[in-house]
Amino acid sequence: MIELARSSVQTWECDQMGHMNVQFYVAHATAANAALASAIGVGPNYSRHHDMTFAPVDQHIRFLKELRPGAPFFVRGGVIAARDHSLRSYVELCHSLTQEPCATITTDSAFVERVTLKPRTLPAAALDKAEDLRIALPDHGAPRGLTLTPPRPAPTLEEAVRIGLVPTFQGVVLARDCSVDGFYDTAAYMARVSDAIPNLIGAMRGEDRSRDNRVGGAALEYRFAFRKAARVGDVLALRSGLKSIGSKTYCWCHWMFDVDTGDAIATAEAVAVSLDLTTRRAIENPPELRAELERLIVPGLTI
C-alpha cells in the first residue's frame, strides 16, 4: 500500500461518544481515494480537463479501533481491481505511532462523466498504473458482521412507509455537503445516518442518550449502496428499521429517499453495539430488552 493522506483528529470531528464520528472516517477516506486516483493518473486535475470523475456505487466500512481527539493518523491504500468502467479501492486509517489500522474502507466506484454520470472507459495508462498498485484485501478489511450480497432492487418511500420503517431524518441537501461536481458528497450520506441514530434509539428503545453520560453506542461495520445522485436543494428523508439483534450487536437498515420523487438515493445497513463510555467496551443487551426489540424486527429487511 502507499500513503495517501496524513492528519490528526480534531475536536470538531468527534461526537458525544468521545471519538471521531463515522462521517469523518469516510471524509478522510474520500480524500485518500482522490489521492489514489491521482496516483493512477485520473485525479482532480484530469477530472477538470476531461470532465470525468469517479462516482461511488458500493462501499463497505469496518471500524476496528477508536480514534480519539488529538490522535495522529495516516491513510494508506491501493487498488483491489480496475476494469474498463470501474475501480475497487481499499484504504485504511492507521494510528501514526502504533501503525495499527483503525478503520477500513473498500469502495466500488464507476468512472463517469462529471455532469451526466454516464459511464466511460478508464484510460489504458490508468489501468496500467492501477495494476502497479494492486493489492489483496487484508483479512481485517473483509466483511465480518455483514454479508455482501448484491443489493435488493431500489425501494421506494411508499414501500418504506408501508412496511413500517421509522422516520429518523429529513432535511435539505446543502452546498457544504456537496462535492466540487455538485453532487452529494460520500461522507454526507454517512453524516445523515449518524444524525438519525438518536431518533432511531428513541423510537426503538425509548432512550434519550443525551441524558445518560455512561452509555453510548459505536458502529462496527457499515455498507452503503448508492442508488441515485442527490444535488443541492433536494429534500431527503431517511427511514430506518431493525434487521436483527444479537447478544451485544444490532443490525440496522437505513433507506434514504428523495422526498419529491419517492426514489431511493441510497440504502445502508450497519452493525452497532451499545458502549460503556467509561470502560469503552461493548455492553450486553439485557434479555428483556432483546425480547422486546425482537418484536420490532422487520422481516426481510435488507440493503
What pLDDT shows up at residue 291?
86
SS3 199: helix
Residues 163, 198, 8: CA angle, nearest 5 degrees:
125
DSSP 283: -
pLDDT tier, 28 (very low <50, low <70, confident <90, very high otherwise): very high
| Backbone region of residue 289 per phi and psi (left: phi > 0; alpha: psi in -120 to 50; beta: other values) | alpha
The DSSP 8-state label assigned to residue 263 in this structure reads B
What was the pLDDT predicted at 210?
80
- Residue 87: predicted pLDDT: 97
The pLDDT assigned to 265 comes to: 97
Residue 156: which of 272, 261, 295, 1 has the closest Cα? 261
Percentage of the chain with pLDDT > 90? 82
The runs of H, that is alpha helices, within the chain are 22-39, 44-50, 124-132, 157-162, 186-205, 287-294
Q: In the structure, what pLDDT confidence band is assigned to residue 164 with cuts at 50, 70 and 90?
A: very high
Average pLDDT over residues 10-23: 94
Please check whether the two domains, 1-142 and 144-303, share a CATH topology: yes
Question: Among 68-77, 203-212, 290-299, which stretch is predicted with the lowest mean pLDDT?
Answer: 203-212
Task: Kindly indicate the confidence band of residue 79, based on its pLDDT and cuts at 50, 70 and 90.
Answer: very high
Q: What is the pLDDT of residue 159?
A: 97
Predicted confidence band of residue 108 (pLDDT cuts 50, 70, 90): very high
What is the per-residue pLDDT for 205?
Answer: 81
How would DSSP label each residue in 172-186?
A: EPPGGGB-TTSBB-H
CA atoms 37, 180, 222, 234: torsion sign? negative
User: What is the separation, in whole angstroms, between the first and last Cα of the chain?
Assistant: 30
| Sign of CA pseudo-dihedral 3, 28, 69, 222 | negative
Q: Is pLDDT of 63 > 80? A: yes
Indicate the CATH number for domain 144-303. Answer: 3.10.129.10
Q: Where are the domains of the chain?
A: 1-142, 144-303
Rounded to an integer, what distance in angstroms lies between the CA atom of residue 56 and that of residue 227?
Answer: 9
**What pLDDT, on a 0 to 100 scale, did the predictor assign at position 275?**
87
Q: Are strands 72-82 and 166-172 parallel, antiparallel or unpaired?
A: unpaired
Look at residue 35 in the predicted model and tell me its pLDDT. 97
> Cα-flanking dihedrals φ and ψ of residue 296, to 5°?
-95, 0
The predicted pLDDT at position 144 comes to: 95
Grade residue 180 by pLDDT with cuts at 50, 70 and 90.
confident
Q: pTM score > 0.85 for this model?
A: yes
If you average pLDDT over every residue of the chain, what do you get? 94
Confidence of residue 40 (pLDDT cuts 50, 70, 90): very high
- Tens of pLDDT, residues 250-297: 999 999 999 999 999 999 999 999 888 889 889 898 888 788 888 899
> How would DSSP label each residue in 25-49?
HHHHHHHHHHHHHHHTT-SHHHHHH
pLDDT at 302: 96
With 80 as the cut, is the pLDDT of residue 212 above it?
no
Q: What CATH architecture is 1-142? A: Roll (3.10)
